[in-house]
Structure 1
Amino acid sequence: TIEGDSDYSVAVAAHMDEIGFMVSRVTDDGFLRLDALGGWNAQILRAQPVTVHTDDGTVAGVIGAEPAHTRDEDDVEDIDDLAVDLGLDGDAAAETVSVGDVVTLDAEPRLLGDCVTGKALDDRAGVYAMLAAARAADPDATVHFCATVQEEVG
């Protein structure tokens, strides 16, 4: 918050969440089934590395799916068709991960020529722009700067 001299007050908000997944089930053979948090195209998720955020820390995994050559060509892949492989058997996976744990994609930012690529950059750039504006501001009104969540999931 930057205190201004006038009686007016405004808020500047930027969202900082990102789309991800929530564990909906740990299967007997140790795979994690997912619920989507935000809008995903399941077609691009196969073989993506992920991090499962548990109460005790993080666990690495990879998204797998039924092989394309075993699927009906008219069958469109859905999030329900995907599973996270942690490299653990069923008992170990159930001891390590709980239903409700959050899963995020592992994607490091990269420089491609003069462009930066990465996940959730719309969010990160918006928060950066808000903070840069806060540093440069000398407002008459009081300004509250807010970094918000829940934009991606409603």
Structure 2
Amino acid sequence: MKKKKQLEKLEWLRRFSETCGVSGFEGRMKALLQERLAAYGDVSYDKLGSVIFTKKAEEADAPKIMLASHMDEIGFMVKYITKEGFLRFTCLGGWWEQVMLSQRVIVHGSKGDIVGVIGSKPPHILPPEERTKVVQKKDMYIDIGANSADEVRELGVFEGCPVTPDVKVAAMGDGKTLVGKAWDNRIGCAVMADVMDNVLADGSPNTVYGVGTVQEEVGLRGAQTSANLLNPDIAFVLDTCVAGGTPGVADDVAPAVIGKGVAITIFDASMIPNTALRDFALATAKEIGVPTQISISEGGGTDGGRIHLSGCGVLTLTFSIPTRYIHSHQSVIHIDDYLGAVKLITAMVEKLDKAKYQELLAK
């Protein structure tokens, strides 16, 4: 039975990663989360598109805990069709030019999905001055095998079509390391779904909201609208962080590595976490034997940046799964970090009753 459950988890991880859903076009991922959490009858939405699964407390004044995981992945949008049938695009989320050329993508047109590739010049025709020059995003294009603008439109492709990376999940050497697209932040969605399963099975003294937010990669937008709607007391943001431990990445820039535990953020560009909640997380992890690491991001933020400022303030903490090569077509995670995150967050949700919340609030 244990092996069967592990296989089921792996299959859900595969589906989460491979599902297409760039910022502003999260519908497929939203549908998948609703399938995954079908046991929850109480499902609602904010007006931007975030999906909310609710487990209500018996007592009206019980703490309200928000588990926020963004559904969107980085990708592209068609902005112009050339007369020759190539697609110019704009980026949805932060891309670095050197990870983009010659990568396969899927263009989601009105008549279905079409495979494309971000075009590149072969080295045979590159003059010496271009060989070390980075190609700018504005000069890139997508080739979908069409011969004219009219043919592109006949295929159902138009300005405004979303485009996602075309990548399948694969297990790597040790069997626990997975490579795939969109772990930022589909692994956070998987953590949220598993914790909500545990809450439904084991109970909680609190009202717990499992929230799949939208448009995080373009400005933390769904975090703001969903937090405004729910007015939570406590928020756990479930996301990824840049993993270190690879050549050229300094330990003081990315101290967390894959396979060594869930990372607890002590600082990012959008938020200083609630220190009492941080200390409670570290104490709980030690008590239940879950390894943790520290994450710091001086150049990026998470949904917590908007959530902790909503209303009169929300006690907020970010948990991250260390991930190699985020914001590229291929990223790498370790299953043990994901399982540890589920165990730790479930324990914290169970412990956070009214008395504990008031204690944290007073610190």
TM-score, normalization by structure 1: 0.92
Q: From the two aligned structures, give the one with the greater helix fraction.
A: 2
SS in 1 for 2:163: strand
2:86 aligned to 13, 22, 31, which one? 31
Residue 192 of structure 2 corresponds to: 130
The structure, 1 or 2, with the larger RCO (C-alpha pairs under 8 Å, 6+ apart) is: 1
Q: Does 1:43 align with 2:101?
A: no
Find the aligned partners of 2:198 and 2:130 in 1 and give their Cα distance: 57
2:133 aligned to 63, 75, 81, which one? 75
Residue 163 of structure 2 corresponds to: 103
Contact 2:118 2:141 in 1 (8 A): yes
Work out the number of aligned pairs and report it: 154
Q: Does 1:92 align with 2:146?
A: no
Find the aligned partners of 1:74 and 1:63 in 2 and give their Cα distance: 19
After superposing the two structures, state which structure 1 stretch, 103-112 or 8-17, moved more.
Answer: 8-17
1:152 aligned to 213, 217, 237, which one? 217
The one-letter code of the counterpart of 1:38 is G
SS in 2 for 1:123: helix
TM-score, normalization by structure 2: 0.41
SS in 2 for 1:103: strand
Query: Offset at 1:141?
Result: 1.5
Residue 32 of structure 2 corresponds to: none
Residue 139 of structure 1 corresponds to: 204
1:2 aligned to 49, 55, 77, which one? 55
Contact 2:73 2:184 in 1 (8 A): no
Query: Offset at 1:94?
Result: 3.1
Identity, in percent, stands at 39
Contact 1:30 1:94 in 2 (8 A): no
Find the aligned partners of 2:80 and 2:153 in 1 and give their Cα distance: 9
Residue 267 of structure 2 corresponds to: none
Cα-Cα RMSD: 1.6
2:172 aligned to 102, 105, 112, which one? 112
Q: From the two aligned structures, give the one with the greater strand fraction.
A: 1
**Residue ranges of structure 1 left out of the alignment (5+ in a row):** none
The one-letter code of the counterpart of 2:119 is G
Contact 1:65 1:81 in 2 (8 A): no
Q: Does 1:64 align with 2:64?
A: no
Find the aligned partners of 1:55 and 1:94 in 2 and give their Cα distance: 10
**Residue ranges of structure 2 left out of the alignment (5+ in a row):** 1-53, 220-363
Find the aligned partners of 2:184 and 2:102 in 1 and give their Cα distance: 24
Contact 1:31 1:85 in 2 (8 A): yes
Find the aligned partners of 1:118 and 1:139 in 2 and give their Cα distance: 34
1:69-105 CA-to-partner distances (Å, cap 9, x unmatched) read: 1463463211112111111111201332100101111
The one-letter code of the counterpart of 1:153 is V
Contact 1:61 1:86 in 2 (8 A): yes
